[in-house]
């Protein structure tokens, strides 16, 4: 039984020659491939087949990659409930996976599978053809055991797209790998990001930092008193965006129309009521609550987000990169409630709120140290991946 | 108690862009239903809106043409409501940060005094789909045509400066003229490219109180807007007089019954910023570049025509309403035609003839240089007015110059006294009674004699010369009434 995949590509041969020739990539069914079922894991899109390729898919095909199929995903990629992200890698059925990252899903899935998970800078990768949920936070994440594969795939899919104006012109990072000199690199830690750790977890994170210091990196202690506000801002703004953007799933043009409606209003209520699962429904209802009943709180959250953006930019100017703890015990259980879901992503949501690139590294095999997150300034993706390679090399 | 109305208008103008606002589909709502659609304007999963540069330019020109201040930063929001005409459950509209603020239009109020009606702001938004309700046998069905979904619109929101239906109608006429002249829309209420909603309230005259307003929709001509406001003023005044409160709601104008009827309002919530369409940032240089593309606005052009060519404000207003017509007039004056003559021939001869042929002035074969050549011959007395009119009509059917036509057709006017004298001799000999009447000072008789001479010359005699010669022969005073008799 092939439990990792929701859809297997019936013709998994590559048609073009290119830098990704022979690389097997699993996507999720929220990335449009013409003719493939594209339901984003939701009953709202059950039976929907994409009409055209997403920009990412078009670029992967052109680079010679093999699309091996779409893995099972959580509803609209929100959280990891029902997600099989990372399993295809563990089963060695794929060399890399694309996993939607709304609040840290690609990093958590990577830690769960013991591989690397990368979330690019917001806007660096086109969202054309991506069936998303929270447009201002989401990004297609990359999972692989091998950072070279992640770099090559990112190099292929990144860059301006005439079908998506999200990436401002002239903002493309250069990908040719550059050696990273640890002695010329400052890594910042954030005191408040370590607050929730148990003494044992803290010890393991310390051990990771010690290894970096031994390799010659200078470590610098930084403070960001508002670090706790990231998940709060994410939850309010994310739910409002999701509620508004999911409005298109109204059963008028596609999706399943629930029977028995006497009028339009009925049709919407019955169809939308049947379309979404309980976790997502709770999220959309929460968003509608903030939009219609507590708009002031939503506006506050937007102001807080602007402040957090400035704070995060300050942190990454005081150090070249940040090192933050990974989520320990990632993927153990998939919570059914909103509160538990957000608690699970408390350590990762920050990167989605500010749109900065982040690389999740697994703990070294059998070691006492933990997994970590490396964070770079916006569009430092290439340098961040080079740093990741350096850190992995230390473990050899 | 006497009441006065407080009215503000919200005007939707459909921009005449080649494509829709967020995709490359043709902006032709009238085509075969659902012919002009794509995953973006149907809002299929994975679609991403791409804001059209042309829509931004046409909207900006419109704002500048209305005297608005383009904002350095504007953005789209999501106006949420659920209805089958809205493919994604929200409409992209600039609710919080509009494209332009301020501006206004000058009109003459009911008593003929100038009044400025202020514009609060102009924002961009996308149009929604069109619903068609039909019967399939005995089952009512609603069909959705997405050709219009995503069509580029601007909404012009005025201040509540209007006090009378006349002001609203004058405003709309002037608005239409100004928007047409910048080339952003044809603003036809009949075709739905201009749609007007009116917010109407009444209050005791002389007070400044804020009364509850009623929104009226569905007027499809400027006259209907006036009629609907008239009706609403009397309906609301009657309510107040009877001690009934006016409640906030929306009404539809029924053009057949000439009444407004209450309608059920759509649910609308607060707008949230759209996270996908980038914020629009306009630089000083870009705004200046747009401003330099702005044609002279009709009101300003009319003022200039009055000052420069001595036209009356009415004449100048008539010419300036259409940029083509004013341009043609100025081309004639540059060719040396006297402003009065140019105005007269344009308004009474050329425009009716162009219209009769179903042509457009700018594409008519009668160009300004050709008409000017004809009018110069008229002013030099080489032909008379009758002949000029005849030649003008021939210019529509031939490429020949007016001079050639006049020469070939023998239209050239006879002004030579010796040639005219012979004709006058014959006419006088045949009409002794008329001579006696002229000598008694009867103007009609003079006109009769001139007419006889003209007839004898087959229309080619110079009537002014004929009158002069007759007057000196009969020793009669020159009479303006006689002039009218020969110059139709
Ligand atoms: Zn389209």
- The domain that contains A344 carries what CATH number? 3.40.190
CB spacing of B276 vs A166 below 8 angstroms: yes
Mean pLDDT for chain B overall: 90
Structural domain range at position B37: 3-284
Closest CA to B254 of B225, B218, B222: B218
In a domain, A3, yes or no: no
Residues A245, A388, single domain; the answer is: no
Residue at which a domain ends, from A298, A327, A354: A298
In a domain, B308, yes or no: yes
Residue at which a domain ends, from B222, B249, B284: B284
In a domain, B452, yes or no: yes
pLDDT at A129 (0 to 100)? 96
In a domain, A336, yes or no: yes
Dihedral (CA of A173, A147, A31, A279) sign: negative
Is the predicted pLDDT of residue A260 greater than 80, yes or no?
Answer: yes
In a domain, A320, yes or no: yes
B361 Cα to chain A: minimum distance (Å): 41
Residues B309, B403, single domain; the answer is: yes
pLDDT at A101 (0 to 100)? 98
Distance from the alpha carbon of residue B147 to the mean position of ligand 1, in angstroms: 8
pLDDT at A98 (0 to 100)? 98
Higher-confidence position of A140 and A394: A140
Average pLDDT of the segment spanning A100-104: 97
Specify the CATH number for the domain of residue A100: 3.90.1300.10
Is the predicted pLDDT of residue B480 greater than 70, yes or no?
Answer: no
A11 Cα to chain B: minimum distance (Å): 23
pLDDT tens digits for range A343-356: 999 999 999 999 99
Mutate to test the interface with A, among B21, B24, B48, B52 (most CBs of A within 10 A): B48
Residues B279, B307, single domain; the answer is: no
Q: Which of B69-73's residues contact partners 24+ apart within 8 Å by CB, and which partners? A: B69/B100, B69/B101, B69/B102, B69/B103, B70/B99, B70/B100, B70/B282, B70/B287, B70/B290, B71/B97, B71/B98, B71/B99, B71/B100, B71/B101, B71/B282, B72/B281, B72/B282, B72/B283, B73/B97, B73/B279, B73/B280, B73/B281, B73/B282
Q: Which of B44, B51, B82 sits opposite A247 (nearest CB)?
A: B82
**Phi-psi region at B187: left, alpha or beta (left = phi > 0; alpha = psi -120 to 50):** left
Residues of A in contact with B87 (CB under 8 A): 248, 252-253
pLDDT at A171 (0 to 100)? 62
Count other Cβ atoms within 10 Å, centred on residue A219: 14
In a domain, B20, yes or no: yes
Residues B55, B131, single domain; the answer is: yes
In a domain, B239, yes or no: yes
pLDDT at A396 (0 to 100)? 77
pLDDT at B264 (0 to 100)? 73
Residues A325, A273, single domain; the answer is: no
In a domain, B279, yes or no: yes
Distance from the alpha carbon of residue B130 to the mean position of ligand 1, in angstroms: 15
Residues B120, B223, single domain; the answer is: yes
Average pLDDT of the segment spanning A131-158: 95
Average pLDDT of the segment spanning B104-110: 92
Q: Are B328 and B370 in contact (CB under 8 A)?
A: no
Higher-confidence position of B163 and A331: B163
Is the predicted pLDDT of residue B207 greater than 90, yes or no?
Answer: no
How many helices (H) and strands (E) are present in chain A, helices listed first?
Answer: 12, 11
Chain A residues touching chain B at CB-CB below 8 Å: 32, 38, 40, 45, 48, 50-52, 54, 127-131, 134-136, 162-166, 168, 240-241, 244-248, 250, 252-254, 264-265, 268, 291-292, 295, 298, 302
Is the predicted pLDDT of residue B486 greater than 50, yes or no?
Answer: no
Rounded to 5°, the CA angle B329-B191-B323 comes to 15
Distance from the alpha carbon of residue B404 to the mean position of ligand 1, in angstroms: 55
Residues A240, A336, single domain; the answer is: no
Residue at which a domain ends, from A266, A298, A330: A298
CB spacing of A291 vs B270 below 8 angstroms: yes
CB spacing of A248 vs B45 below 8 angstroms: yes
Q: Which of A50, A163, A268 sits opposite B48 (nearest CB)?
A: A163
Q: Which of B109-115's residues contact partners 24+ apart within 8 Å by CB, and which partners? A: B109/B163, B109/B164, B109/B166, B109/B167, B109/B170, B110/B164, B110/B166, B110/B167, B115/B161, B115/B167
Residue at which a domain ends, from B262, B284, B306: B284
Average pLDDT of the segment spanning A317-330: 87
Q: Look at residue A102 and give its three-state secondary structure.
A: coil
pLDDT at A270 (0 to 100)? 93
Residues of A in contact with B84 (CB under 8 A): 250, 252, 264
**DSSP annotation of A228:** G
In a domain, B480, yes or no: no
B477: confidence class by pLDDT, cuts 50, 70, 90: low
Residues A132, A48, single domain; the answer is: yes
Residues A152, A208, single domain; the answer is: no
Residues A16, A137, single domain; the answer is: yes
Least confident range from A159-168, A208-217, B305-314: namely A159-168
Residues B173, B106, single domain; the answer is: yes
Structural domain range at position A111: 8-157
Cα B445 from Cα B332, distance rounded (Å): 38
CB spacing of A292 vs B270 below 8 angstroms: yes
pLDDT at B395 (0 to 100)? 92
Q: Which of B45, B275, B278 sits opposite A48 (nearest CB)?
A: B45
Domain count for chain B, please give it.
3
- Maximal C-alpha separation, chain A: 71
Rounded to 5°, the CA angle B303-B305-B309 comes to 135
Residues of B in contact with A240 (CB under 8 A): 272
Is the predicted pLDDT of residue B483 greater than 60, yes or no?
Answer: no
Q: Could you tell me the end-to-end alpha-carbon distance of chain A, in angstroms, rounded to an integer? A: 35
Tokens of B97: 């940060």
Q: Which of B46, B89, B276 sits opposite A129 (nearest CB)?
A: B46
pLDDT at B481 (0 to 100)? 43
What share of chain A has pLDDT > 90, as a percent? 75
Domain count for chain A, please give it.
3
pLDDT at B297 (0 to 100)? 80
Mean pLDDT for chain A overall: 91
pLDDT tens digits for range A28-45: 999 999 999 999 999 999
How long is chain A? Answer: 396
In a domain, A360, yes or no: yes
What share of chain B has pLDDT > 70, as a percent? 97
Residues B436, B339, single domain; the answer is: no
Closest CA to B4 of B168, B237, B202, B165: B202
Residue at which a domain ends, from A270, A298, A326: A298
Element (H, E) at A220: strand A218-222
Q: Look at residue A254 and give its three-state secondary structure.
A: coil
Residues A245, A359, single domain; the answer is: no
pLDDT at A169 (0 to 100)? 67
Residues B69, B100, single domain; the answer is: yes
Residues A311, A336, single domain; the answer is: yes
In a domain, A175, yes or no: no
Residue at which a domain ends, from B263, B284, B305: B284
pLDDT tens digits for range B229-260: 999 999 999 988 898 888 888 999 998 899 99
Residues B263, B333, single domain; the answer is: no
Residues B304, B439, single domain; the answer is: no
Give DSSP secondary structure letters for A149-204: HHHHHHHHHBS-BTTBTTS-TT-----S-----GGG-EEEEEGGGGTT--HHHHHH
Average pLDDT of the segment spanning B102-116: 92
Alpha helix (H) residue ranges in chain A:
55-62, 87-90, 105-113, 147-157, 199-214, 229-245, 264-275, 278-292, 295-318, 338-344, 349-354, 381-394
Residues A270, A308, single domain; the answer is: no
B142 Cα to chain A: minimum distance (Å): 10
CB spacing of B48 vs A254 below 8 angstroms: no
pLDDT at B457 (0 to 100)? 84
CB spacing of B46 vs A292 below 8 angstroms: no
This model of the complex carries an ipTM of 0.92
Residues A75, A107, single domain; the answer is: yes
Question: Would strands A218-222 and A186-190 be described as parallel, antiparallel, or unpaired?
Answer: parallel
How long is chain B? Answer: 488
In a domain, A177, yes or no: no
Residues B310, B278, single domain; the answer is: no
Specify the CATH number for the domain of residue B463: 1.10.10.410
Residues B176, B88, single domain; the answer is: yes
pTM over the 0.80 mark: yes
Residues A209, A63, single domain; the answer is: no
Residues A322, A387, single domain; the answer is: yes
Residues B368, B448, single domain; the answer is: no
Q: Which of A51, A166, A247 sits opposite B44 (nearest CB)?
A: A51
Distance from the alpha carbon of residue B21 to the mean position of ligand 1, in angstroms: 9
Residues of B in contact with A264 (CB under 8 A): 82-84
In a domain, A21, yes or no: yes
CB spacing of A129 vs B269 below 8 angstroms: no
Residues of B in contact with A50 (CB under 8 A): 45-46
Is the predicted pLDDT of residue A313 greater than 60, yes or no?
Answer: yes
Residues of B in contact with A48 (CB under 8 A): 45
In a domain, A169, yes or no: no
């Amino acid at each position: 039984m092939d439990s990792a995949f929701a859809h297997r590509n019936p013709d998994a041969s590559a048609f073009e020659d290119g830098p990704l020739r022979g690389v097997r990539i699993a996507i999720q069914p929220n990335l449009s491939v013409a003719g493939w079922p594209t339901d984003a894991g939701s009953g709202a899109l059950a039976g929907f087949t994409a009409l055209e390729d997403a920009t990412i898919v078009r670029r992967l095909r052109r680079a010679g990659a093999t699309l091996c199929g779409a893995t099972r995903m959580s509803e609209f990629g929100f959280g990891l409930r029902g997600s099989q992200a990372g399993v295809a890698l563990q089963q060695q059925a794929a060399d890399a996976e694309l996993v939607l990252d709304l609040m840290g899903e690609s990093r958590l899935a990577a830690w769960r599978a013991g591989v690397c998970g990368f979330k690019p800078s917001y806007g660096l990768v086109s969202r054309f053809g991506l069936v998303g949920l929270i447009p201002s936070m989401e990004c297609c994440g990359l999972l692989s055991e091998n950072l070279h594969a992640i770099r090559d795939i990112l190099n292929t899919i990144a860059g301006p797209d005439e079908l998506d104006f999200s990436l401002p012109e002239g903002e493309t990072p250069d990908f040719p790998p550059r050696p990273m000199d640890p002695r010329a690199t400052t890594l910042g830690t954030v005191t408040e990001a370590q607050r929730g750790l148990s003494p044992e977890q803290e010890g393991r994170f310390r051990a990771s930092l010690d290894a970096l210091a031994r390799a010659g990196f200078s470590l610098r202690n930084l403070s960001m008193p508002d670090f706790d506000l990231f998940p709060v801002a994410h939850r309010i703004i994310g739910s409002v965006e999701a509620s508004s953007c999911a409005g298109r799933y109204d059963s008028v043009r596609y999706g399943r129309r629930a029977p028995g409606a006497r009028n339009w209003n009925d049709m919407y209520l019955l169809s939308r009521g049947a379309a979404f699962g309980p976790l997502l429904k709770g999220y959309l209802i929460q968003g509608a609550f903030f939009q219609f009943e507590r708009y002031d709180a939503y506006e506050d959250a937007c102001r807080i987000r602007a402040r957090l953006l400035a704070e995060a930019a300050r942190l990454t100017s005081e150090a070249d990169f940040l090192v933050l703890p990974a989520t320990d015990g990632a993927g153990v259980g998939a919570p059914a409630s909103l509160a538990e879901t957000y608690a699970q992503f408390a350590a990762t949501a920050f990167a989605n709120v500010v749109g900065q690139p982040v690389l999740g590294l697994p703990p070294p095999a059998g070691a006492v140290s933990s997994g970590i997150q490396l964070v770079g300034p916006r569009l430092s993706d290439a340098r961040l991946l080079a740093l990741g390679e350096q850190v992995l090399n230390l473990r050899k | 108690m006497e009441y006065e109305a407080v009215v503000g208008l919200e005007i939707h103008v459909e921009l005449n862009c080649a494509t829709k606002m967020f995709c490359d589909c043709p902006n032709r709502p009238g085509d075969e239903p659902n012919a002009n659609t794509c995953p973006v304007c149907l809002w299929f999963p994975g679609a991403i809106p791409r804001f059209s540069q042309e829509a931004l330019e046409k909207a900006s020109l419109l704002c500048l043409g209305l005297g608005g201040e383009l904002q350095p930063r504007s953005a789209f929001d999501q106006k949420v409501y659920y209805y089958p005409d809205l493919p994604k459950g929200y409409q992209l509209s600039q609710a919080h940060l509009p494209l332009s603020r301020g501006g206004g239009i000058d009109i003459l109020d009911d008593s003929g005094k100038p009044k400025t009606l202020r514009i609060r702001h102009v924002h961009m938004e996308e149009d929604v789909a069109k619903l068609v309700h039909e019967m399939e046998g005995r089952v009512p069905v609603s069909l959705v045509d997405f050709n219009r979904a995503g069509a580029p619109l601007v909404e012009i929101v005025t201040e509540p400066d209007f006090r009378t239906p006349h002001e609203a109608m004058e405003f709309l006429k002037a608005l239409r003229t100004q928007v047409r002249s910048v080339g952003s829309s044809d603003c036809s209420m009949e075709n739905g490219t201009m749609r007007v909603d009116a917010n109407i309230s009444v209050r005791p005259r002389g007070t400044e109180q804020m009364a509850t307003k009623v929104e009226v929709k569905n007027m499809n001509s400027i006259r209907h807007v006036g009629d609907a406001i008239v009706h609403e003023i009397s309906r609301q005044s009657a309510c107040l007089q009877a001690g009934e409160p006016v409640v906030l709601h929306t009404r539809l104008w029924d053009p057949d019954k000439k009444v407004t009827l209450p309608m059920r309002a759509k649910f609308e919530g607060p707008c949230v910023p759209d996270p996908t369409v980038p914020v629009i940032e306009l630089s000083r240089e870009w705004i200046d570049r747009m401003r330099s593309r702005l044609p002279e606005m009709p009101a300003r052009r009319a003022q200039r025509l009055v000052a420069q060519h001595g036209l009356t404000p009415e004449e100048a207003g008539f010419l300036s309403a259409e940029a083509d017509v004013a341009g043609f007039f100025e081309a004639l004056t540059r060719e040396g035609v006297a402003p009065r003559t140019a105005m007269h021939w344009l308004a009474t001869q050329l425009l009716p003839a162009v219209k009769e042929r179903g042509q457009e002035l700018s594409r008519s074969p009668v160009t300004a240089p050709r008409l000017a050549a004809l009018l110069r011959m008229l002013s030099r007395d080489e032909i008379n007015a009758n002949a000029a009119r005849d030649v003008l009509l021939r210019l529509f059917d031939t490429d020949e110059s007016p001079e050639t036509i006049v020469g070939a057709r023998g239209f050239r006017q006879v002004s030579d006294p010796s040639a005219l004298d012979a004709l006058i001799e014959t006419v006088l000999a045949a009409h002794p009674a008329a001579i006696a009447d002229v000598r008694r000072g009867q103007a009609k008789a003079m006109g009769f004699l001139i007419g006889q001479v003209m007839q004898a010359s087959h229309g080619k005699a110079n009537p002014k010369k004929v009158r002069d010669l007759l007057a000196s022969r009969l020793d009669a005073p020159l009479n303006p009434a006689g002039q009218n008799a020969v110059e139709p």
